Amino acid sequence: MQALPRQAVKRRNDTLLDLTVKYVAPLVGLIGAVLFGVLRLANVFFYLPLRATPQEAGYGYLEILSGQLIGTVELALILAVFLLAGALALGSARHALAGRWRKAVSWPGRAAMIRLVRRCGFAGLATVLLCLPILALMFGKEAQQGTAVRNIYLLHFVQIPVLAVQASTVKVSWTAKMPAGTPDISKRNCLLYLGKAAGTAVFYDVATEESLHLPSTQILLAFPHTSTVWDSGCE
């Protein structure tokens, strides 16, 4: 086989580079923007009942994508596999009912299989993106009632969070003189710790239903690891 001239190889590489810059890069950027938008919306829905925002809890662009993107893709892939298996089973059953036994036990053609995989993949991703904000709001409502939430996982034995959020039971004490006009947080037993950003820690008081912002450098946190605030002395 005759080798391609150097100029032809260079033109081919330039064409691939142009296609990558023109189509692939914008597509990846668009997908990343959509995923970030949906994941951020889910975070907003979780913290909304707790009278806080994701930014106040320390969840920015990088934290949301790095903490939740893998779990979201994992969930979408698992759902896509179940949808694919269901579609294949449904197709086999339809052929069997029509008496087409050979087709019932045969795999679809390559082109049909590629189309089916693509559709199931898109359907799985769309379902996850639509359900995540609803799931986040449900867990946010549970936290509002005093239930501790430390990330939301797909499976208990797979430690990859679908939503990297927290509302942890906590005990707080001052390490410095309490600033004037600041509530005596050390006497509050119904607190959930939501996170911190820019030197400010954010809490939610289940009893009074208020959000509290305190300087993180002047307080000491102790986490009792109880499942609800009611298990840690809240009345």
175, amino acid identity: T
Instruction: Answer yes or no: is 39 within a domain.
Output: yes
Residues 6 or more apart whose Cβ sits within 8 Å of residue 55: 197
Q: What percent of the chain has pLDDT over 90?
A: 29
177 by Cβ neighbours in 10 Å (0-12 / 13-18 / 19+) ranks as: exposed
> How many folded domains does the chain comprise?
1
Could you list the residue range(s) of the whole structural domain that residue 223 is in? 6-232
Helix (H) or strand (E) holding 48: none
pTM of the predicted protein model: 0.77
Strand, helix or coil for residue 100: coil
Instruction: Answer yes or no: is 97 within a domain.
Output: yes
Instruction: Answer yes or no: is 1 within a domain.
Output: no
Instruction: Answer yes or no: is 196 within a domain.
Output: yes
pLDDT digits (tens, 9 = 90+) for 115-172: 888 899 889 888 888 888 999 999 999 999 999 998 887 665 556 678 889 999 999 9
